[in-house]
């Protein structure tokens, strides 16, 4: 091989090496640019996701923002039911209410009793406090005011659920202590039956004295439990007894809103009717049509008309045929249940 040929080969090798080095540098530059682009893209995506999350959080905050209005306290939550040791107590609503409020004020309590009333069925005392507090707050301070009512027991105005047992043998469970044993029997021999209080007779003692059988109330804390034992037979005292829905009214109960019978005003969804003139307004809104008359309720100018029978008398008149038909016969005088 000549000297010129060797020189030519060295030149080619050197040129090839230079081309490879330039190619590697280009590749390194491209890789750096790609990585930079990837980093930039990743940062951009991160910023986008962060903004999206921020917007989502802001949206969630708007959705979950609590209402500015405070939750209202229900009427039931503001009531206490008191049983007095004195069964012959006389309601003096204003005097009792003021006595309680004065005692609370003297003890530097902010609680205010709004009304003192008598319950419809059980001859108990109902205290209703102002809308700002719940009855539990008044119950905690019972040592301040309970002496006013000769308190035997106090309970919150909870909603209970009731069914009725029919044809229970009176001679077995007639006394109060025996009703306690009835509760034990019922809970022992009937699956998942749990009463919140002892059973209560529907009729009064003088009426039961003339009978061999009567109906009693079973009281549950949860509606599902009451419904489970409704319209089926229960076991007690080696016998089975049928049950039925409990209806908290008498056939003679007259609604002060619509003037019809078998329900009370608090359960009425009918249109208002006047007791005096049958027009479509509440009775307390009745006014004489003569501008010169000073009487705010019924007067000599009122043209009486019954909305039940359309005759010329008030809707609660004993002369009304509808009123007479609603009155129970003597043997059912105190019965609160209508058969289903």
Q: Which DSSP string do the residues of 136-165 spell out, in sequence order?
A: HHHHHTHHHHGGGGTEEEEEE----EEEEE
> CA 97, 124, 176 angle in degrees (round to 5)?
155
Please report the pLDDT score of residue 16 as a whole number: 56
Please report the pLDDT score of residue 218 as a whole number: 92
Please report the pLDDT score of residue 332 as a whole number: 36
CATH 3.30.70.330-classified regions of the chain: 161-245
Q: Which CATH superfamily is domain 161-245 in?
A: RRM (RNA recognition motif) domain (3.30.70.330)
Highest-confidence range of 81-85, 249-253, 292-296, by mean pLDDT?
81-85
Please report the pLDDT score of residue 40 as a whole number: 53
Residues β-bridged to residue 213: 169
| Cα 186 to Cα 72: distance, rounded to the nearest angstrom | 39
Please report the pLDDT score of residue 318 as a whole number: 87
Please report the pLDDT score of residue 306 as a whole number: 92
* Tens digit of each residue's pLDDT (9 = 90 or more) over 20-53: 555 555 555 444 445 555 545 555 555 555 555 5
Q: How confident is the model at residue 333 (pLDDT cuts 50, 70, 90)?
A: very low
Please report the pLDDT score of residue 105 as a whole number: 93
| Cα 315 to Cα 295: distance, rounded to the nearest angstrom | 20
Q: How confident is the model at residue 62 (pLDDT cuts 50, 70, 90)?
A: very low
Please report the pLDDT score of residue 14 as a whole number: 59
Selected residue with higher pLDDT from 122 and 153: 153
Highest-confidence range of 25-34, 250-259, 308-317, by mean pLDDT?
308-317
| Cα 98 to Cα 126: distance, rounded to the nearest angstrom | 15
| pTM tops 0.75, yes or no | no
329 pLDDT more than 70: no
Mean pLDDT across 51-63: 47
285 pLDDT more than 90: no
Please report the pLDDT score of residue 76 as a whole number: 82
* Tens digit of each residue's pLDDT (9 = 90 or more) over 119-150: 866 678 999 988 788 888 899 999 999 999 98
212 pLDDT more than 70: yes
Residue pointed to by tokens 């080095």: 21
DSSP E strands in 228-274: the ranges are: 234-236, 239-241, 243-245
Share above pLDDT 70 across residues of the chain, in percent, rounded to a whole number: 72
Q: What length is written for the chain?
A: 340
For residue 270, give the 3-state DSSP assignment. Answer: coil
Assigned token pair, 151? 């308190």
| Cα 304 to Cα 310: distance, rounded to the nearest angstrom | 10
Of 248, 260, 243, residue with least CA distance to 326: 260
Phi-psi region of 8 (alpha: psi -120 to 50; beta: other; left: phi over 0): alpha
Burial of 179 by CB count in 10 Å (0-12 exposed, 13-18 middle, 19+ buried)? middle
* Tens digit of each residue's pLDDT (9 = 90 or more) over 64-100: 444 444 467 787 888 899 988 888 888 888 899 999 9
Class of CATH domain 76-156: alpha beta
Share above pLDDT 90 across residues of the chain, in percent, rounded to a whole number: 16
160 pLDDT more than 80: yes
Selected residue with higher pLDDT from 225 and 35: 225
Highest-confidence range of 40-44, 55-59, 180-184, by mean pLDDT?
180-184
Residue partners of 340: CB distance under 8 A and separation at least 6:
231, 244, 245
Q: How confident is the model at residue 58 (pLDDT cuts 50, 70, 90)?
A: very low
DSSP E strands in the chain: the ranges are: 79-84, 113-118, 125-129, 151-156, 161-169, 200-201, 213-220, 234-236, 239-241, 243-245
319 pLDDT more than 60: yes
Mean pLDDT for all residues in the chain: 77
Please report the pLDDT score of residue 38 as a whole number: 55
């Amino acid at each position: 091989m000549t000297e010129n040929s060797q020189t030519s080969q060295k030149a080619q090798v050197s040129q090839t090496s230079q081309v490879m080095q330039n190619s590697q540098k280009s590749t390194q530059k491209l890789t750096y640019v790609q990585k930079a682009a990837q980093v930039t893209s990743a940062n951009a995506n991160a910023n986008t996701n962060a903004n999206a999350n921020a917007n989502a959080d802001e949206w969630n905050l708007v959705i979950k923002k609590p209402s500015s209005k405070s939750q209202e306290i229900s009427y039931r939550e503001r009531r206490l039911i008191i049983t007095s040791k004195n069964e012959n107590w006389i309601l003096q609503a204003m005097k009792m209410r003021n006595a309680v409020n004065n005692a609370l004020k003297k003890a530097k309590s902010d609680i205010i009793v709004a009304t003192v009333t008598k319950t419809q069925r059980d001859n108990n005392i109902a205290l209703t406090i102002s809308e700002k507090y719940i009855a539990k707050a008044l119950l905690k301070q019972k040592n301040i005011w309970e002496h006013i009512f000769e308190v035997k027991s106090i309970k919150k105005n909870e909603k209970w659920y009731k069914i009725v047992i029919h044809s229970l043998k009176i001679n077995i469970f007639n006394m109060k202590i025996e009703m306690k044993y009835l509760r034990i029997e019922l809970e022992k021999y009937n699956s998942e039956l749990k009463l919140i209080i002892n059973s209560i007779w529907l009729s009064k003692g003088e009426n039961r004295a003339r009978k061999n059988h009567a109906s009693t109330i079973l009281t549950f804390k949860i509606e599902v439990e009451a419904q489970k034992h409704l319209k089926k037979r229960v076991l007690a005292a080696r016998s089975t007894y049928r049950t039925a829905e409990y209806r908290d009214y008498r056939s003679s109960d007259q609604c002060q809103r619509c003037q019809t019978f078998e329900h009370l005003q608090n359960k009425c969804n009918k249109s208002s009717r006047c007791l005096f003139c049958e027009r479509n307004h509440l009775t307390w809104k009745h006014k004489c049509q003569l501008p010169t008359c000073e009487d705010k309720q019924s007067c000599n100018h009122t043209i009486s008309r019954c909305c039940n029978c359309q005759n010329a008398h008030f809707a609660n008149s004993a002369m009304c045929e509808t009123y007479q038909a609603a009155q129970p016969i003597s043997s059912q005088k105190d019965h609160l249940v209508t058969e289903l």
